[in-house]
Amino acid sequence: MTTYIILSIVSGILFGVLDGLIHANPAAVRLFEVFKPISRTGINVTAGLVIDLVYGFLLAGLFLLLHPALPGSSGLVKGLSFGVITWFLRVAMGVISQWMMYTVPLNTLFYSLFTGLGEMLILGILYGLFLHPA
């Protein structure tokens, strides 16, 4: 239980840091200019931190719940499998929806797909290496 709590907090913080790196770097700012007319002018850091921590707890719990059913015999492979599954459900489906509903440049969509894959794989690896069912 202690490992779950610690890993959940670490992954929640990691979520926030990775999101910041992914969305606030100069290349990303240029790519996401398309959203400027509907973007907020400021970010509620406290709300963002709370949301990322909740995500950390939910994803770590989901990993533990799915652990026996994930492909692979090692924690690393199970973590990578989980990362790909969460990428598809969290990132890929969102990007496909954006492509269908909005006029967004393809390079922006591809950036979101690939950086989201990296983020989910990092979190999956973290869970796979350090989080094991009791």
Q: How confident is the model over 8-52, as pLDDT tens digits?
A: 999 999 999 998 899 889 999 999 999 999 888 888 889 989 999
Record the pTM.
Answer: 0.90
What confidence tier does 87 reach under pLDDT thresholds 50, 70, 90? very high
More confident residue, 56 or 134: 56
SS3 133: coil
Q: What is the pLDDT of residue 39?
A: 86
Averaged pLDDT of the chain: 94
What letter represents residue 56's amino acid? G
Question: C-alpha angle 96/102/34, rounded to 5°?
Answer: 110
SS3 97: helix
Encoded tokens for 15: 């979520």
Phi, psi of 74 (to 5 degrees): -105, 160
Q: What is the pLDDT of residue 86?
A: 97
User: Under the phi-then-psi rule, with left for phi > 0, alpha for psi from -120 to 50, and beta for the rest, what region is 82?
Assistant: alpha
- What are the extents of the domains in the chain? 2-130
Tell me the CA distances in angstroms from 57 to 7, 15, 19, 49, 51, one per residue in order.
Answer: 8, 11, 17, 12, 10
* Relative orientation angle of helices 45-66 and 2-24, to the nearest 10 degrees: 130
SS3 42: coil
Q: What is the pLDDT of residue 89?
A: 96
Q: What is the pLDDT of residue 84?
A: 97
List CB contacts of 16: < 8 A, sequence separation 6 or more. 48, 49, 52
Q: What is the pLDDT of residue 1?
A: 87
Phi, psi of 62 (to 5 degrees): -65, -40
